[in-house]
Structure 1
Amino acid sequence: MPATPTTEPLQRERDHLAASRAALRAMREDVESLDIRDVTGTWVTALVLHNQIEARIAALADLSHTPLFFGRLDYLHAIGEELSEGSTNGAARSASDKGGGGRRAGESFYIGRRHVHDADGDPMVIDWRAPVSQPFYRASRTEPMDVERRRRFGYTGGELTAYEDEHLCDPAEHSTASALLAAEIEKPRVGPMRDIVATIQPEQDEIVRADISGTLCVQGAPGTGKTAVGLHRVAFLLYAHRERLARTGTLVIGPNNAFLSYIEQVLPALGELDVAQATVQQLVGHVEVRGEDAPEAARLKGDARMAEVLRRAVRSGIALPTEPCVVVRGSRRWRVPAYELVEIIEELKGRDIRYGAAAEALPQRIAHAVLLKMEQGGEAPDDRVQDAVARNAAVKATVKACWPAVDPAKLVLRLLSEPEFLAACADGVLSAEEQAAVLWPKPGRSVKTARWTAADAVLVDEATDLVRRTASLGHVVLDEAQDLSPMQYRAVGRRCTTGSATVLGDLAQGTTPWATASWPEALHHLGKPAAHIEELTKGFRVPEEVIAYASRLLPSIAPGLNPASSVREAPGSLTIRQVAGEERAEAVVEACRRALEREGSTGLIAADARVPLLAQALTEAGLAHLAPGTETSAEARLTLVPASLAKGLEYDYVVLDEPAAVVAGEPDERTGLRRLYVALTRAVSGLEVLHAEPLPEQLNGQD
């Protein structure tokens, strides 16, 4: 049972916190005092070492508002194995980072966001990612994992104010819900997304610590913490495979900049500062996006069939020679007949290599054919001669005529501007009607002035990869993946062909014209068909009343998904209020005022078309409000959120304006209901729905 803190034990824990903070400061000061002037050979090595030291100093920052440790484990028995940090890829760490070489009976370990050791190298706080910390998340009464007691700590304003104990091996103690755990989950959310390191649940921990070698797909209902799990997985993989990922890199991909701004503080709070974040659009930024496609054109350009159209377009300029290639060297002429050139080109065409790589190989192949003739003529050429022949003007002319250089952007410009070229490349792949749909209304004149769309940019990225292989990263996290088109999946997959991925999403929240129909199909386009799929259905963020109400939409928007349940009962968290049409704006303002009377953040979510009207109403009422992605403050805790940008965000209290308008703002009812499902599930503590128009029938007629 939760223990009532007494002054003496609580003070001891506060003393340990103070000592741990002092030790962390000492660790930082030790790094700051390093003198590298006499240990670097060149300015390059000096710069590298300086940057490494600066990164280490930043990683050792003590965030005063973030608890240094949040839990404690008291073990029953001793073990002789290494305690903590050992790398799963075999790379050893220093003893001070590991925290020692064994565990004594009855020993206690404080679990926190980063490792802290004292002057003797003994651990004062163990990193939550270390093996010895895992029982904090996994141990239970049925499987205590040698843990006698698990202690959780409560903080108020950075000060340790309470603790709570579970005696996992005591049969006399009855299991009860953790009040501190519930308080941490329900803590008001102001500002960017926080880490959930203190509240990770067993099923979440399994995903976080899954092996790096395989790709993992997480289907997660609203409030199940899939985004946080994905970010903590990055932190864990960087901990367990730091050297490997330092070489290959990691990347977090989100749906928009507002979402990336919301999550950007999670990894730094866990001590990880070097993880890149981007949207898919930023990844494929070869051209400037200025235009917008009609829904059907966007859907077709995102279709996986476009990959074959582009492959044909890239190779459309390849021509088989009809004349020999004659190389003059000194007084002799060496002739490669046309039929030999045809054989060389056909062989390169049949190989699965990039167009650009084949273009580089072709002159060497022709030069090799010349060298064979030289040897037959009694000469003894070497590699230098072959390189010289490959640079010969006649060889260059043959290569240019037979395997011309391709500019990916210019190629896509031509493909979308010239009906005849598109018809030749799309023959048997796209129908005449589909070809007409993807063609630009006005032909583009140049790469710089063309009105490229977001879908066009993905096509340019595909063409670029067909010419030159895209560099692969060690691990990629793809969030809100359900909204990607097959061609966008391919663009992401190119960034992790030799690495792994964590794919996060919810099929019920797909709101694009090409929204993912199933995860196996999506993973096929990503190039990871063997990925393991996990489903999270236990919610921690959204109250049961709210998620149950939103789940009424599931039979219409995702009939194959199991509805989510929530561990949080919050009576009164859902209010449905009908108002007169002429009073809608005033009612919304008053609902926002009521929400702002309570602690935490408030999000006003509305159909995109109604945002300007509501912005004006809030301004006239004197209610300061922000746009998504803007950090809230004590003076401005209200965010006005267009429904199209609500995905992935969360607020303590949500006021939802006119559900029917949210549905009507989408091209079709199913997409509109999915957008509404997203909007209904952004609240952590309370949701108030205001409507003048009738609610969608799926939300009516049920208790």
Structure 2
Amino acid sequence: MRYSVTIGSMTSPHPAATSLQEAHLQHDLRTERAYHDTCRTALAAMVDGAAEHVVTGEDVSASGADAEVLGYQLRSRAKALRELPEGPLFFGRLDFRDDDPAHGGQRYHVGRLRITEDPVAPPLVVDWRAPVSRAFYQAGAHDPQGVAVRRRFGWAPGSRGDSADLTGLEDEHLGEGESGTDGESGAGGIVAREIERPRVGPMRDIAATIQPEQDDLIRGDLAASVCVQGAPGTGKTAVGLHRAAYLLYTHPQRIRRSGLLILGPNRTFLSYIAEVLPSLGETGVRQSTLQEEIGRGPVTGTDSGPAAAVKHDARMAEVLRRALYARVATEGAGELAVPDGSYHWRVPAAELAGIIADVRAEQPPYAVGRERVRARIVRGIRARAERRAGTVPNAWVRGIERRRALSAYLDAVWPKVRPEEVVAELLSDPEVLARAADGLLDPAEQRTLRWAKPPRSYRSARWSAADLVLLDEVAGLIEHPEGYGHIVVDEAQDLSPMECRAIARRASYGSLTVLGDLAQGTTAWAARRWDVALRHLGVPDAAVVPLTTGFRVPAAVVGLANRLLDRLDVDVPAARSLRRDGELRVRHADDVLAATVTAVREALARDGSVGVVAADADADRVRAALAAAGIGAAGPDELGARVTVVPASVVKGLEYDHVVAVEPAAVVEAEERGLHRLYVVLTRAVSRLDVIHGRPLPF
């Protein structure tokens, strides 16, 4: 028998059955609350024990290096436990059949963190990432996976983990063929209520509500890169963050040694997702923007649209490579004479030219090539010396390597160089640019690239955001950057080919989780096809997995947004939603600002956050109109505000329970890919959407 309860909401047509069932349910709730108290006590002991281990670890008898490593690990563990957000300690339970070969008769509570009374004792709560927990997300009536009963717990919204906040439970008897879903919702009541719960503040984790197709992506192999083409509301960002948490759990040494990076489109987005990984017990993960990763200095310059487009074009990679290696003199180099006391070791020009040509053909990083040339010249001198006088000591070799004559020769034929010097010369000197861009960029594109007023030197250059991408490309040619073991890239559809290359350099020995939606591409260089973007990211063989079933955005809103798809020039499947509870209102108004104020007042009568999204140029006027009406509105960076006014250009990735979309025609006209921007705006609502317009609608 399947049963569920939420206190105060039970109904049954038969009073006697109701009384008996309620008695059983109340007993189960009391039992589970008591178990939660036990888990809370055990977690407190784990926190105290971790602190004690730090003190004990400082006195261990080991080498200084070993003691330092152990101390760091113990302190990190203690810090992570202390910083765990307050909240319920489990959200589910698995009861396995007695005849299951692996877990016969066992019962496991599933939560965000493993909790145990003793390291060698069976856990009171198993981590959601543990192999046994996979059945909680994957088991069903068609494939119970040994599970007799799957129980889900309902907690009061905003619970800080008080056992009294456990207000409901829902059992699915999978061994008896129960599906555990209600109607078209695709989920049981507790899961549906958790998914549909109003959103105020930062993004929450979805550990309690992960769906089977999401779980497959989350638990994918570390070595395999994957691209998730996720329609709005399908949870692609949550999938990427939970995959990061899963990889940290499954491959802790490898990932922590090489690092894990979360790349988001802007700081507003990163603030929105910042609490997800800590809530899953993972702290210390770097969350950054690409501009922060590649920035070699402040952005003080600007580009015209055409100039930025050329700088982001993949052809610039070869232009920059030519510009850099044009500094290497493969011809015309004279002979070299290296002093050794009163004697000079002479290396003929032809031999030197051969060394330089060979090293160039090997295509090492520029700085490595310079030192490789030095090493091969020294090797030739050493061979001459040993033929003359026998084996020479290493000190003699090091002395030859440091001879001023050798360094001066290298400066002439393979000079040291900074990325800023290469890019500044390229953008300042028409002849240098013409040679490097020959056959790649036409004369008009070259003129577009050149600085109108070149700086006196690279030190006084005013670099634009697009210039940072060029500088990073040259820096990567000079010396490979330190990479990460895994990178999660969100909103990847907006990356240019040159930005993709910057990411690829940092993942050359790792893997990628690429998240995005081609329909939401809003930059001038946004990808139209994933195979092209993945090639520039260095993972051409990555699987592209579509997520089309939305759990957050209501069907009415998805249906409206789908009307734009045919005009977006991208090949993506239409989204669908399992949500039938949303509301959509399209209002024509002669006074758009007054209608916006009215819509916000009506939205405030309901629970949840209100996002008022307008074209960037109109955002201040909308905020002023709300203020004049006595409605305080925050900016997009102020998380947790009841009402937020958001410029359309920064709303991507954010969600609000109620969205008021102001004048869609103005959003479309504000930028080249305005229809794509409008698609983003319309799909930010997770419960209700008001579209306010005074001009004809673009859809």
TM range (shorter): over 0.9
Partner secondary structure for residue 529 of structure 1: coil
Question: For 1:263-286, what per-residue CA distance to the aligned partner results, in whole angstroms no more than 9, with x for missing partners?
Answer: 000000000002101111111111
One-letter code aligned to 1:28: V
Q: Distance in 2 between matches of 1:553 and 1:637?
A: 29
Range with greater deviation from structure 2 (398-407 or 54-63): 54-63
Q: Distance in 2 between matches of 1:173 and 1:353?
A: 58
Query: Is 1:626 aligned with 2:634?
Result: yes
Is the alpha carbon distance of 1:456 and 1:143 closer, same or farther for their aligned partners in structure 2, counting shifts above 3 Å? same
Range with greater deviation from structure 2 (38-47 or 430-439): 38-47
Is the alpha carbon distance of 1:565 and 1:25 closer, same or farther for their aligned partners in structure 2, counting shifts above 3 Å? same
**Equivalent residue, structure 1, for 2:285:** 275
Match among 679, 687, 690 for residue 688 of structure 1: 690
**Equivalent residue, structure 1, for 2:209:** 199
Query: Is 1:467 aligned with 2:468?
Result: no
**Equivalent residue, structure 1, for 2:264:** 254
One-letter code aligned to 2:127: D
Tell me the matched-pair count: 666
One-letter code aligned to 1:692: G
**Equivalent residue, structure 2, for 1:661:** 666
One-letter code aligned to 2:482: A
Is the alpha carbon distance of 1:40 and 1:603 closer, same or farther for their aligned partners in structure 2, counting shifts above 3 Å? farther
One-letter code aligned to 1:117: T
CA contact (8 A) 1:287 1:409 kept: no
**Equivalent residue, structure 2, for 1:323:** 334
**Equivalent residue, structure 1, for 2:33:** 14
One-letter code aligned to 2:135: P
Is the alpha carbon distance of 1:114 and 1:331 closer, same or farther for their aligned partners in structure 2, counting shifts above 3 Å? same
Question: For 1:283-308, what per-residue CA distance to the aligned partner results, in whole angstroms no more than 9, with x for missing partners?
Answer: 11113211222221111101111110
Instruction: Report deviation, 1:116.
Output: 0.4
Q: Distance in 2 between matches of 1:658 and 1:683?
A: 16
Q: Distance in 1 between matches of 2:67 and 2:268?
A: 38
Partner secondary structure for residue 60 of structure 1: helix
Instruction: Report deviation, 1:174.
Output: 7.9
Range with greater deviation from structure 2 (686-695 or 166-175): 166-175
Instruction: Report deviation, 1:605.
Output: 0.5
Match among 612, 623, 637 for residue 604 of structure 1: 612
Match among 166, 172, 190 for residue 172 of structure 2: 166
Question: For 1:165-201, what per-residue CA distance to the aligned partner results, in whole angstroms no more than 9, with x for missing partners?
Answer: 1111214788534011110001111110000111100
CA contact (8 A) 1:216 1:502 kept: yes
Q: Distance in 2 between matches of 1:482 and 1:132?
A: 35
**Equivalent residue, structure 1, for 2:238:** 228
Is the alpha carbon distance of 1:56 and 1:502 closer, same or farther for their aligned partners in structure 2, counting shifts above 3 Å? same
**Equivalent residue, structure 2, for 1:365:** 376
Instruction: Report deviation, 1:378.
Output: 3.7
Query: Is 1:188 aligned with 2:198?
Result: yes
One-letter code aligned to 1:455: A
Question: For 1:521-571, what per-residue CA distance to the aligned partner results, in whole angstroms no more than 9, with x for missing partners?
Answer: 001001111111100000001000100111100011145211110111125
- Give the alignment of 1:497-508 within 5 angstroms: 497-508=508-519
**Equivalent residue, structure 1, for 2:218:** 208
**Equivalent residue, structure 1, for 2:648:** 643
Is the alpha carbon distance of 1:473 and 1:547 closer, same or farther for their aligned partners in structure 2, counting shifts above 3 Å? same
Instruction: Report deviation, 1:448.
Output: 4.3
Partner secondary structure for residue 445 of structure 1: coil
Query: Is 1:312 aligned with 2:322?
Result: yes
CA contact (8 A) 2:85 2:278 kept: no
One-letter code aligned to 2:630: G
Structure 1, unaligned runs of 5 or more: 82-102
- Give the alignment of 1:18-167 within 5 angstroms: 18-34=37-53, 35-39=56-60, 48-61=69-82, 65-77=86-98, 103=103, 105-119=104-118, 121-156=121-156, 157-158=158-159, 159-167=165-173
CA contact (8 A) 1:507 1:558 kept: no
Q: Distance in 2 between matches of 1:217 and 1:690?
A: 35
One-letter code aligned to 1:547: V
Instruction: Report deviation, 1:368.
Output: 1.2
Is the alpha carbon distance of 1:551 and 1:357 closer, same or farther for their aligned partners in structure 2, counting shifts above 3 Å? same
Is the alpha carbon distance of 1:78 and 1:124 closer, same or farther for their aligned partners in structure 2, counting shifts above 3 Å? farther
Q: Distance in 1 between matches of 2:179 and 2:139?
A: 15
One-letter code aligned to 1:19: T
Is the alpha carbon distance of 1:410 and 1:148 closer, same or farther for their aligned partners in structure 2, counting shifts above 3 Å? same
Match among 426, 451, 474 for residue 437 of structure 2: 426
CA contact (8 A) 1:25 1:62 kept: no
Query: Is 1:521 aligned with 2:532?
Result: yes
One-letter code aligned to 2:297: V
Instruction: Report deviation, 1:44.
Output: 6.2
Is the alpha carbon distance of 1:391 and 1:679 closer, same or farther for their aligned partners in structure 2, counting shifts above 3 Å? same
CA contact (8 A) 2:115 2:125 kept: yes
Percent of residue pairs bearing the same amino acid type: 47
Instruction: Report deviation, 1:61.
Output: 4.0
Q: Distance in 1 between matches of 2:524 and 2:48?
A: 54
Instruction: Report deviation, 1:37.
Output: 3.5
Partner secondary structure for residue 57 of structure 2: coil
CA contact (8 A) 2:312 2:497 kept: yes
Instruction: Report deviation, 1:54.
Output: 3.0
Q: Distance in 2 between matches of 1:9 and 1:693?
A: 58
Q: Distance in 1 between matches of 2:66 and 2:631?
A: 54
**Equivalent residue, structure 2, for 1:98:** none
TM-score (norm 2): 0.93
Instruction: Report deviation, 1:691.
Output: 0.4
Partner secondary structure for residue 471 of structure 2: helix
TM-score (norm 1): 0.92
- Give the alignment of 1:502-651 within 5 angstroms: 502-570=513-581, 573-580=583-590, 583-632=591-640, 636-651=641-656
Q: Distance in 2 between matches of 1:375 and 1:55?
A: 54
Question: For 1:460-482, what per-residue CA distance to the aligned partner results, in whole angstroms no more than 9, with x for missing partners?
Answer: 00100100111111000000000
Instruction: Report deviation, 1:42.
Output: 6.8
CA contact (8 A) 1:419 1:439 kept: yes
Q: Distance in 2 between matches of 1:43 and 1:322?
A: 51
Structure 2, unaligned runs of 5 or more: 6-21, 160-164
Is the alpha carbon distance of 1:447 and 1:623 closer, same or farther for their aligned partners in structure 2, counting shifts above 3 Å? farther
Q: Distance in 2 between matches of 1:285 and 1:17?
A: 47
Instruction: Report deviation, 1:45.
Output: 5.5
One-letter code aligned to 2:540: P
Range with greater deviation from structure 2 (252-261 or 323-332): 323-332
Note the aligned Cα RMSD (angstroms).
Answer: 1.7
Match among 341, 346, 350 for residue 361 of structure 2: 350
Q: Distance in 2 between matches of 1:559 and 1:523?
A: 16
Is the alpha carbon distance of 1:559 and 1:141 closer, same or farther for their aligned partners in structure 2, counting shifts above 3 Å? same
One-letter code aligned to 1:351: E
Query: Is 1:672 aligned with 2:674?
Result: yes
Q: Distance in 1 between matches of 2:198 and 2:305?
A: 39
Q: Distance in 2 between matches of 1:552 and 1:389?
A: 72
One-letter code aligned to 2:167: T
CA contact (8 A) 1:577 1:689 kept: yes
Instruction: Report deviation, 1:491.
Output: 0.3
Q: Distance in 2 between matches of 1:386 and 1:199?
A: 65
Q: Distance in 2 between matches of 1:603 and 1:44?
A: 52
Q: Distance in 2 between matches of 1:49 and 1:640?
A: 48
Question: For 1:121-147, what per-residue CA distance to the aligned partner results, in whole angstroms no more than 9, with x for missing partners?
Answer: 221110000010001100111111111
One-letter code aligned to 2:153: F
One-letter code aligned to 1:152: R
Partner secondary structure for residue 123 of structure 1: coil
